[in-house]
Chain A
């Protein structure tokens, strides 16, 4: 487990992603709230944070969170996503040897929160790391969903003079947050 995590972290950081890991959901949540505060999220256009519904949120009091963190929106649509600074979603699998995240992204909110805002926080369970592409494609198949997304680092271009520049059309920051899950906890269901 730790070896694949280390490989993943190394590869993801090599393509400018940030990688964090927490032993429990609550700590991951604390980290995210601190992050949103530091990023200047507030109840103003261009400063929202949009959070697409996901297993991580099971058992989390969303109302209380929204009150505590003004500008944090769980009711995701096109307009608020286009006016958001941060987008949060849960990813399904991580590929260690390329530092890639994989997601069933048929639901449009999954893509809105990870394409339009400047910062994407990607939540993922620590037990969802597979070693390579073939093992990921064995887990997630096109028969199950019409849209599979692979995300490896933030959006990038080298189209002007081949100079690598982060953040073109998609996020300029990708923050990957792993959280460890005990089998009887909520959110441990596949």
Chain B
């Protein structure tokens, strides 16, 4: 990771305006977005968008031809190019031919992508951004920090300073007055400009129509007052039919700004008369800039389904801490990382891809149904292939890949940590490792791992057997969770087997882009877990469960090892998470809770993989309620705790404030006990509360249920 990148993260984290504004926005957005979609079937809507956009992505050439034909038939000039330089040249020539001295622009990310303003200004042409946020950012000499709210990182005081220094002295930090001031100043620019430049939100091939969405009304003025209108349109905006406008225009305002509809929508299908009666010159530039290449990539084709609403930024626990500037390029956030890798260069995404904590929040709200975290992992994989893994990481994975060596090192670690450990916690580590324990205590490595204690557990023999996949944390840090799981299944008359050959689930390797290592882990585990005749393979770690159930298949497919897929599927069919299994056994009457228990208040934290990959947020809540607990829901219960596996080691400066929020929400719930289904979350949250000397206890669901079942 580059030092410059780390510095930009720290700068952002220590900017209270930025983190304050973004934090408040993300909280309000979640609620207002939900309200905007009331009465709509979001799943059906986004399926429709994904299908229509995907169709367009597979027929780009055809649709671009059709659009060109239909637009030109009505007098529009259409210019198609793959090359950003040609776009700039075309506009510059047009400006020269028509004696253009002044240009007004309404928002266009495509123009930002090719740094158009800089080139026009260098040629002596005045360029005025007219979207208020874009204008502020332009005056301040900055870049937008958010696709929809470009100046969200600035306070009204900062905006006032920019206006005073760059436009006219005497402005006060009063928002309505600042807006009035901007209206007055920009009005003169609108009336004087000879050329208007816009982007477009949709380009309809069958009618040659551009759809432009705004709230301020600037696009209406830009397309009305100057005699020349140039629209720069990325070809991902192409859609086949006019009716395709409906789902996009239904979702875009709701996802972008939680509005039912934006104040203005303009649908332009050809030149209209100017204010002096002459016909307007309308030029549409269909810009490719590697979009076709992207649409031909089997993995990244789905990124063409993006409608640029930025909702993936708004729900991201990392974005709300660091904002857009750390991304260093035009496009920001989750989707921005992917677009930067393509429109700029793969290596430009090297640092920024590491910001994704893989919590999956964005996958729940994306109106284009894009698997953004999945694509970021694919970037990681390709970066690792292109540039190789960092040396230290390579060394670690070579150990993880050798089960015996890995396990014996963990055992040795249990002895070496002795001087540092107290009450089962490591609170400080020496030297460079100290960052790991700065904001949370780490659990001590267990003296006897679960794989050894398991052998001593006396189980009643049974015909029905279930295999237990422990995962590293339960095996080596929290063996007591494994003990409880065995006890619970025994109560249901099931014998638990522990296949010795099981090893790391491969998630750490996969999340670092080391897919070969992950594939080796997958093969070892498949061999171990399919060896016995069992009805289920259960895991009490959602990250491991997700790996066994879904990611093994994905890893093999990414590497083209399709021969391994059928066995991976066979395993996947047997895999179940702990709470879903126990819920099933309770529903079947094979497990019974003690009657009439009143166990008091708890709060429940949803682990990312359990909620968003395994979709099992209800079973643990049902079980805990049936046991006799009263659940006091915390605020943002399903927001990531900041653990993210090795993320908390790579980016502790981001992991810590995410955890901080989680701890505050837990405390505010008023419950003396926080329960969750993931040993990783237990490690992060329990460690964080320990550092704060809190009396709130943190437990895995398995620990809370074991004594309440008959």
Contact = CB atoms under 8 A, between A and B. Distances in A.
Interface of A: 11, 15, 77-78, 82, 95, 97-100, 105-108, 111-112, 114-116, 133-134, 137, 141-143, 145-163, 165, 167-171
Contacts of B136: 159-160
Contacts of B74: 146
B272 A158 contact: no
Contact of B266 (A100, A149, A160, A169): A149
26 contacts: A97-B260, A100-B261, A105-B266, A107-B272, A108-B275, A112-B275, A133-B246, A142-B204, A142-B209, A142-B242, A146-B74, A146-B269, A146-B270, A147-B272, A149-B264, A152-B262, A156-B215, A158-B215, A159-B136, A160-B154, A160-B175, A160-B178, A162-B21, A162-B152, A167-B180, A168-B215
User: Do most interface residues of chain A lie in helix, strand or loop, or is the interface mixed?
Assistant: loop
Nearest to B269: A142
A159 B133 contact: yes
B260 A159 contact: no
B558 interface: no
B220 A170 contact: yes
B263 A155 contact: yes
| Number of chain B interface residues as a range | 35 or more
Given A78-B225, A157-B133, 12 more contacts: A77-B275, A100-B261, A105-B266, A108-B274, A116-B221, A147-B272, A155-B264, A156-B216, A159-B150, A168-B216, A170-B217, A170-B221
Contacts of B132: 157, 159-160, 168
B265 interface: yes
Contact of B261 (A105, A106, A150, A171): A150
A142 B263 CA distance: 20
Interface in B117-147: 130-133, 136
A137 B246 contact: yes
A126 to B, nearest CB: 21
Interface in B147-197: 149-152, 154-156, 159, 175-176, 178-180, 182-183, 186-187, 190-191
A150 B264 contact: yes
B673 interface: no
Which of A97, A100, A108 has the most chain B CB within a 10 Å cutoff? Answer: A108
A107 B132 CA distance: 27
Query: 3 shortest A-B CB distances, which residue pairs?
Result: A170-B217, A159-B133, A150-B265
A28 to B, nearest CB: 24
Given A146-B270, A158-B257, A169 B265 contact: no
Contacts of B179: 157, 160, 165, 167-168
Contact of A159 (B131, B208, B217, B250): B131
A137 B243 contact: yes
Contact of B130 (A82, A98, A114, A169): A169
A170 to B, nearest CB: 3
A108 B224 contact: yes
A15 B183 CA distance: 20
A148 B132 CA distance: 24
Interface string B251-285: 00000010111111111111111111000000000
B155 A161 contact: yes
A77 to B, nearest CB: 7
B269 A169 contact: no
B109 to A, nearest CB: 16
B349 interface: no
Contacts of B208: 142
A15 B225 CA distance: 26
Contacts of B259: 15, 152
B249 A133 contact: yes
B275 A78 contact: yes
Contacts of A159: 131-133, 136, 149-151
B183 A169 contact: yes
Nearest to B215: A156
Nearest to B180: A167
Contacts of B651: none
Contacts of A141: 207, 242
B246 A145 contact: no
A77 B269 CA distance: 23
A106 B263 contact: no
B176 A165 contact: yes
A98 B261 contact: yes
A3 B246 CA distance: 23
Contact of A133 (B131, B149, B250, B274): B250
